Structure formats: C-alpha cells, structure tokens
Structure 1
Amino acid sequence: MTDAAALVCFGCQPRLRPMAVPRYRDLLQRYRLDAAFRDAVDATVDGLDMDLIEAHPVEGLILHPRDGSWLCYRLKDHPTKLEVKDRLVLGLAHMAIAARAYPTPADLEEDRVKRIAVSEVDDFLRRLTDRLRKQALDADGLAVPHPELEAAWRVYAKLPPTHHTPTQQLSKSSTQHVVKQALEWLVEQGMAYRAPELGAGHYRLAHRFRAQVREAAASAAFTVLCDLRRTHLGEED
C-alpha cells in the first residue's frame, strides 16, 4: 500500500513528469503491468474521492476529483480574491479554450498537441458573444436563456480586448488578461506549456488538459460553445 500511495502522491503533482523521476516512472510501469498493484492504486484513488482517468507514459497519472469532492477546484478558491463577475469571465475563458481546441468528439480522441494563443481565444469569444447576443431572442422576441453562459458573456462583451497599464502590462480590466490568466493557471496545473517560440501569448495544450476536458464534456455550457465553434469553422470553410 505504501507504493500505491506513493504513486497517487506523484499523480497529485500534475507538473511532475515520470521520465524526470525514476521512482515515479517505475511505479507507473508497475501500475500498467501488475494487476494487484493496479487494484491497490485504484482503491487509494477511490478513497480520495477521485477518478483515475489515465496512466500516461509521458504525463503520468491523470487524476480527476469527483463533483463535490473536497479536492475539486472551484473558482472561488482562486488564490487571488475574485469578485463574482471576475469568476464568471474567467470560467468562460476556460471553457472557450477547451471549446476552441476540441470542438468535436473526434478532437477529444485525437492524440495531437494543440497550439493556442491568447488573441485567438479572445477573438473566438468575441465572435461567440456577438452570436449569442443575436440568438438571445427567439422569433417571438422572447428571451432564449443560456443560464450557464448568459451572465458571463454579457460581462465579457463589456470589457475591452486590450488595455495596458503605465508599465505596458495587460490591465486586469481587459479580456486578453482574463484569457492569459486562464492559460497561466493551466500551465501551473501541468495542462499547458508556454510556447514563446511561436510568438507572444502562445501556448501548447498538454494531453492532460484534453483528458480533463473529455471528463467534463457533458457540460451544457461547453456544448453550446462547441456548437458555435463548429458553426464558425463551417463558415470559414
């Protein structure tokens, strides 16, 4: 059980990579080959109220806290004190990153690194807010609610895309700052990597992020964003 707990402990450090830690690499290999050890690890994860999504050879153990779990991250737990409207737009940015990168079920199954940029996500969201605004009323002029999205996109639409401080940093009142904040959080969680060689504000999304999105893909808000993203792609074609 000590080895099982050690492997789970490694998995709870999402930026840790097995190839850099020999003990982690060996335990991960044992998990894949030893059924009794795999059962012990699975039981440990279950006892912590998590699901083990995958034992990936490069990215390690990918764990996902269950809904309501004490380990589940919520935007109100953000280390920076956020007001309600800030949490709304930050949550929208996270969903937009996922929907832009993985708009179809096939994208969620494709083992290919996705590249993304702050400006691309912001542009995507601005297109979506315009479309959501147009779709907000039905043929009879009655409101068509997207309860998980409406408040967020209305706040987002009021913010400027860019606004710089006197030191030329992106102001917190700009949407590109919100998107960058979301991407930097993914970096901290081992789900994205900065890619400055591709240009300022560019990132690569890790397999770990795709696996986590796959777990949350049933969200109604995520489905709406994906539908709009696919419409946008069809128009580009």
Structure 2
Amino acid sequence: MTVPIEDVWSAAELVAFGLRTGARPTDGNTYGQLLERYRTNTAFRDAVDTVAGGLGLVVLGAPARTGLVLSTQPGSVFALRMADLRGGSMAADDKLIAGLVVLGIAAYAFPHDVDLDGTDVKIVEVAALDRFVRDAIERVLALAGDPDTVDGQARKAAEVYRRTAAFKPKDRLPGPARGCTQFAVLEVLGWLVERGAARQLPQMGAMSFQLTDRFRLLVADVAGGEALEALRTVRRGAASTASAAPVAPAAPVAAAAPGEAAVPAAAVPGEAAVPAAAVGPVAAAAPVAAVGPVAAAAPAAAVPVAAVVPEMSTVEGD
C-alpha cells in the first residue's frame, strides 16, 4: 500500500516531537493531534514506526501525558553514552557510579515486573536513593560474571560506590558537593530530567523528583540482568518491612486532571499533589511540601537502561 507523502511528513513530524524533551502533547496542539492519530490509526502508526526505524529509533509507547517515547537501535546516530552526562568529561569511576545509580533508580521505583505495567506516580529523593543503593552493595558485590559484562561492571561499580563518601557539603550553598555519591545521584536525576524521564518536584524539596512514563517504558523495554534483580530484591525486602509497620491515615486526595495521577490536597496551593501511596519511604526523607517531565532544556527523548554500567544509550534530539 502506498503511503501518501502528507502522511510521511506527519509521521516524521511526530518523531521529531518525540525527540524534543520540551515538547508536550495537548488536545489543542499539533503534537497532541498527531499523537492521538498514532494511538488510533493503524496505518499512521505503521508509518511512524517505519520512519523511526529508518533513523535508528524504536517507538516504545505513546502515553497521552508523556508523548512519543523513543529508544535507540544499536549504532544509532541518536545514541548517547554515559560519558555524555557531563559533556564527555567523566572519569571512569564516575561513569561506574552513574550507571549503578540508574540501575538503582529503576529497581527502587519498579521492584516488581507488574510495576512496569502501572501508571502510579513514582517519586524518588536523593538521600533515600543513595541509602538504598548502599544497602544493596553487598548483594551486588556477590554477583558472578566476567568483568566486561554488565553484571561484572555493576560489581566493580559497587566497589567504587562503597568507598566513596555518601555526602560532602558545599562550602556555602546547600546540597551535596562533587565527589560524593549523593552528588552523583542528583546529577543522574538531573540528566534524566533533561532527557524527559523525570521531573523536579520543588514542592517536596530540592532533592525530590518524579519519574515519568517515559522512564517506566524504557525500563520495561530493557529490564533484566542479575544486577538489576539484585537491587530489586533489596527493594522488595525493604518494602515488606515497611508494610509491616503501622501506617498513618492517608491525607485526602484531590481530584486530578484526566489522565493525570491525583495528589494529596495538602500540597502547595495551585500545584497538583502526589498520592502518598506512590511516594513510599522516599518522601519521609524530604521536606513535605512537585514535577514536569524532564526540563525543557536539552532535547533528547529516551534513556534506556540497556548497557547501564558503565555505558547507557539514550536518544539525543536537536
């Protein structure tokens, strides 16, 4: 069947939107209209998938609130590596730590396979993530595998993580300084924000972030490996312990916009709140008091966790 040139143009336009981190689909804009067409028109969806494939990209999904989620094929010109996190100037140990942090975020937010099928709000906080990774270090160190495999690299990363200080204060400003693992966690989360896989939550504190559907779909696409499972096991154990403790009454939940998750009514005026159940142990470490997919700063559309340690491919747009 011949595809009209207008449809090819529209398909390429939708892929371009998917590559732009700052693009947001709505009912009234072109991105939203093309996204809805992708979700409801099989012929157009095939055209978009074909255009993406020709560019070395793979469409992982098209959530209404996130937009087109793209990942890269091996050798794609859009692929990025962990070294790109800091403009290519990362030391080998920093790459290892960053890769382990990405695995840690995936395990912390999605400890069970079924979690990857849900759309619950997932909130993470820097100090809590750092503690979680540290709690899992012994299990990661016990992994088998050659040094050049992902699991072998995860083991090496755990060794580096363990000997690196958890926190170093800045001279004058609040927050962790470079050279500690909390800084590495914050840097990775900021990078995910730039790639559309997370959003900052200022209402909950400067160190709190919400993971987007984009991150969930990317993890679902590549989930696997002993390193990720080791981290997930620790997370499941922590969750079981927490569930055995008395639970305080939940805060009233305010109604959210269609397609969005609800948030407790006690949030900052004018801001959507986040369901307490989605926060888990993380929120307890952050001041109670926010999100938007990955800052509209850097264009890039996906952050797969494929070869996470020490390298991780993602999508770079323009």
Matched, 1:123 2:131: yes
Deviation at 1:61, TM superposition (A): 0.7
Matched, 1:33 2:40: yes
Higher RCO (CA < 8 A, seq sep 6+):
2
| TM-score normalised by length of structure 1 | 0.89
Deviation at 1:125, TM superposition (A): 0.9
Change (3 A) 1:148 1:221: farther
Deviation at 1:203, TM superposition (A): 0.9
Contact 1:117 1:201 survives alignment (8 Å) = yes
1:107 to 110, 115, 129: 115
**Unaligned stretches of 5+ residues in structure 1:** 138-144
Matched, 1:56 2:63: yes
Change (3 A) 1:132 1:212: closer
Distance 1:155 1:174 in 2: 11
1:208 to 214, 219, 226: 214
Q: Secondary structure at the match of 1:149?
A: helix
1:13 to 20, 33, 40: 20
Change (3 A) 1:222 1:69: farther
Matched, 1:179 2:179: no
Distance 1:69 1:136 in 2: 31
Letter in 2 for 1:8: V
Distance 2:143 2:33 in 1: 54
Deviation at 1:197, TM superposition (A): 1.1
Matched, 1:217 2:217: no
Distance 2:52 2:81 in 1: 20
Contact 2:201 2:210 survives alignment (8 Å) = yes
Number of residue pairs aligned between Structure 1 and Structure 2: 229
Change (3 A) 1:235 1:148: farther
Change (3 A) 1:21 1:158: farther
Change (3 A) 1:66 1:221: farther
Contact 1:192 1:206 survives alignment (8 Å) = yes
Change (3 A) 1:40 1:146: closer
Match of 2:152 in 1: 147
Deviation at 1:235, TM superposition (A): 4.2
Distance 1:21 1:10 in 2: 15
**Unaligned stretches of 5+ residues in structure 2:** 1-7, 145-149, 245-318
Distance 1:130 1:22 in 2: 50
Deviation at 1:190, TM superposition (A): 1.2
| TM-score normalised by length of structure 2 | 0.67
2:232 to 203, 221, 226: 226
Contact 1:18 1:60 survives alignment (8 Å) = yes
Deviation at 1:171, TM superposition (A): 1.4
Distance 1:14 1:100 in 2: 24
1:92 to 96, 100, 119: 100
Contact 1:103 1:226 survives alignment (8 Å) = yes
Of Structure 1 and Structure 2, which has the larger fraction of its residues in helix? Answer: 1
